[in-house]
Structure 1
Amino acid sequence: MATERTIAALDIGSTKICCFIAKVTDAGRIRVTGMSHHASAGVRGGVLVDMEAAYRAILAAVHAAEQMAGATIDQVIASVAGPHMTSKQLLREMVIGGGAIRDLDLRRLLQDARNSVDLEDRMLVHAIPVGYSVDGGPLLREPRGMHGQTLGVKMHLVTANRAAVQNVATCISRCHLTVSDLAIAPYAAGLSALVEDEKDLGAVVIDMGGGTTSFCVFYEGAAVHADCVPVGGHHVTSDIARGLSTPLNHAERLKTLYGSAVPAASDDRDLLDAPQVGEEDDASSNRVPKSFLVSIIQARIEETFELVKRRLDGSGAAGLAGQRVVLTGGASQLPGVREVASRTLGKQVRHGRPLGVSGLAEATGGPAFATAAGLLHFAVDDRGEAKSAAVPQSAAEGGFFTRMGGWFRENF
């Protein structure tokens, strides 16, 4: 009889905080039983800046997801984002003595490679094996059973600022949850939104959030590079607010209802009301042509993809990225973003949606929820990563009585 286990994902972004609770079968099938998304607070540019506000937003999202699932969770896979993450390659080799390569040899090699990294004030989030070599030969995906004197590995390492990750872990632990693992947002989005052929042939996942736009390059089934630029959907809103001298909430409304990154022939004829900052009288609203709004949005979206292209070209991974770009994240849903991305990057572009996950409603099955769904995929299959128990936990995280004491301190 098939058994199921419960897993949970927590995507902490600058715009929204999303929690997915799912059941996983022995065969690896994922079925979402509870989900919730809550307006983010205390997070700016992918970095936690207000512990109390973030704690309350996370608690609200987790509580609503638990109510929907009819279950209580005690640990989550959490996302990491922000410009503080770095990506690099590592080559490591080990003598194995001529016998057949065993699982033990692979585990020793991966752990040795992980332990060789000089982290200082940083934390190793991912240690992804890109490929293995036997006696200095070409990279292989699966070296088990092969004979050789030496076994090597090429690894993709992603590190993050330890203090930034510690702040997130501490905030989550205040909700009486343990961070069982971490994954960077664009990598998780790629696990969810890419098909296997895209992962093999080469593709770039660009995750467009509110505070940052991060991207991850996949090639031959593995993530080979990741980076982030500190520009996102909030910057588009701020540009509109400044350009039209309108409050931020009205700028967000104009962007959502009428915004586009590509001009249309009728834009000069369509007039929009833009209330002025500090004015209480509706009669003082400016009427501006839609073309002005579109020009503001277009300039910022083009700049975003130019920054991504510059980072990608400078990384050395552009040649592996192929001709496919998959857009995820809430900011990617703005009309015209796909066309601007295709023109700026010179690649084929599509929107990515969560794949391989059942139980999602139409409203939660779009690009904005690819990262949360990808965290569930990562919980089921970490694709051979070298693991360690290095996820920082708060001192508040402990046994039952410790957690109960924390609850009383929070509420009385």
Structure 2
Amino acid sequence: MSLSAGQLESQVIEVDVSIDGHRVEEADITRVLHEARASIDPGDRVVIHAFPACFAIDGSYGVKEPVGMFGDRLAVSMHVITAAAGPVRNLESAIQRAHLTVARFVASPYASALATLVDDERELGAAVVDMGAGSTQIAIFAGGALVHVDVIPVGAGHITQDIARGLLTPVDHAERLKTYYGAAMQSPTDDREMIDVPQLGETGPAEDITSQLPRSVLTGVIQPRIEETLELVRDYLEAGGFDGIGARRVVLTGGGAQMPGIRELAQTILGKQVRIGRPRRVVGLADATAGPAFATCTGLLLYDQMAPLELSDERQTEAKEQPKGRLARMGRWFKENF
């Protein structure tokens, strides 16, 4: 289950252990990870992810596979993502009322990044900006690992509310206007193109309850909100120290990234190379599900195959306990469902 609620926060924990100059073995990796797990203190929050970002030998960071190397001290930088406990429990409770069980939560921007980033972007550094309905989430990759997540409490749903208030039209019609006629930037033809805007609370013949407005008026409502969102993204990147290292390239995804002109506007405001992120790693997606709005869903499908094992992850244990053979798997399925 993807999670964007609960004010996602990132924390980096660094732990080191002595290896007395001998060759690093798997037991040393297990020991330093055990020390890192013991040092996690989420307080009144819930740990969503906890995985090693990189290892270090005698203070030299950036080591991905330390097994076989020699040194005196082995260290690990652990990236921990937490969320407020209340929203997580409320979401899990709602799912359980539908007679379903949550196997695990995955941070929404992380899932979107798994579906949209190419390997070179993960290695060289990229920021995924997932423009959802209620919020805009940021996931920053560097050195092949997720190093930071953040959430901005402004999303595409706020644009819909702006349209409804600015044009005095019902919210469902505002969403339709945004989808069919919305744009992030003005075009030369906007003043000449007229659109029908249903009026709030009016009843009667269609010609009496709608008014015609230039498309430029709609764009004039949308553009300031998108500019505000992108400026907040820029400020969050700068405040986190990722303006240069982790954001050489920005990938826009989510439903809000489908608006015409948003790539050009983002390049102007962020001063970065920007592309629209669509699901890449699943073959055979229908056109209706191959757009940026389905990046998070696709990332959830890819999570088990692409995401590294985490400290609290049970995927490895489950794989070991998986029944062997077709008959054994059928027997387990009947036990679980009947």
In the superposition, the TM-score normalised over structure 1's length comes to: 0.73
Match of 1:196 among 97, 114, 119: 119
- Paired residues, what number? 317
Aligned to 1:262: 185
Question: Separation in 1 of the partners of 2:19 and 2:136?
Answer: 42
Deviation at 1:202, TM superposition (A): 0.6
- Given that residues 176 and 403 in structure 1 are in contact (C-alpha distance below 8 angstroms), is that contact kept between their aligned partners in structure 2? no
Question: Separation in 2 of the partners of 1:316 and 1:186?
Answer: 19
Aligned to 2:211: 286
Match of 1:91 among 14, 17, 20: 14
Question: Separation in 1 of the partners of 2:224 and 2:162?
Answer: 10
Match of 1:301 among 226, 230, 236: 226
Aligned to 2:89: 166
More helix by share: 2
Map of 1:357-368 to 2, 5 A cutoff? 357-368=282-293
Question: Separation in 2 of the partners of 1:158 and 1:293?
Answer: 38
Q: Does 1:341 align with 2:261?
A: no
Deviation at 1:262, TM superposition (A): 1.1
Letter paired with 1:206: V
Q: Does 1:178 align with 2:105?
A: no
- Given that residues 26 and 67 in structure 2 are in contact (C-alpha distance below 8 angstroms), is that contact kept between their aligned partners in structure 1? yes
Q: Does 1:231 align with 2:154?
A: yes
Give the SS at the match of 2:278. Answer: coil
Partner deviation per Cα, 1:214-257 (whole Å, 9 max, x = no partner): 01111110011110111111111110010001111111111111
Aligned to 2:294: 369
Give the SS at the match of 2:61. Answer: coil
Aligned to 2:71: 148
Aligned to 1:111: 34
Give the SS at the match of 1:255. Answer: helix
Letter paired with 1:346: G
Question: Separation in 1 of the partners of 2:92 and 2:34?
Answer: 24
Match of 2:142 among 213, 216, 219: 219
- Given that residues 82 and 230 in structure 1 are in contact (C-alpha distance below 8 angstroms), is that contact kept between their aligned partners in structure 2? no
- Given that residues 6 and 86 in structure 2 are in contact (C-alpha distance below 8 angstroms), is that contact kept between their aligned partners in structure 1? no
Match of 2:169 among 246, 268, 271: 246
Consecutive unaligned residues in structure 2, runs of 5 or more? 315-333
Deviation at 1:114, TM superposition (A): 2.4
Q: Does 1:379 align with 2:304?
A: yes
Question: Separation in 2 of the partners of 1:192 and 1:88?
Answer: 23
The farther-off stretch of 159-168 and 380-389 is: 380-389
- Given that residues 128 and 222 in structure 1 are in contact (C-alpha distance below 8 angstroms), is that contact kept between their aligned partners in structure 2? no
More strand by share: 1
Map of 1:40-55 to 2, 5 A cutoff? none
Question: Separation in 2 of the partners of 1:256 and 1:244?
Answer: 15
Partner deviation per Cα, 1:328-356 (whole Å, 9 max, x = no partner): 11111011111111111111111111122
Question: Separation in 1 of the partners of 2:64 and 2:172?
Answer: 50
* Identity percentage of aligned residues: 46
Deviation at 1:303, TM superposition (A): 0.6
Question: Separation in 1 of the partners of 2:227 and 2:22?
Answer: 55
Aligned to 1:314: 239
Runs of 4+ aligned residues of structure 1 deviating over 3 Å after TM superposition are: 400-404
The farther-off stretch of 284-293 and 244-253 is: 284-293
Question: Separation in 1 of the partners of 2:62 and 2:44?
Answer: 32
- Given that residues 240 and 251 in structure 1 are in contact (C-alpha distance below 8 angstroms), is that contact kept between their aligned partners in structure 2? yes
Consecutive unaligned residues in structure 1, runs of 5 or more? 1-77, 390-399, 405-412
- Given that residues 83 and 228 in structure 1 are in contact (C-alpha distance below 8 angstroms), is that contact kept between their aligned partners in structure 2? no
The farther-off stretch of 253-262 and 277-286 is: 277-286
Question: Separation in 2 of the partners of 1:265 and 1:253?
Answer: 22
Deviation at 1:403, TM superposition (A): 9.2
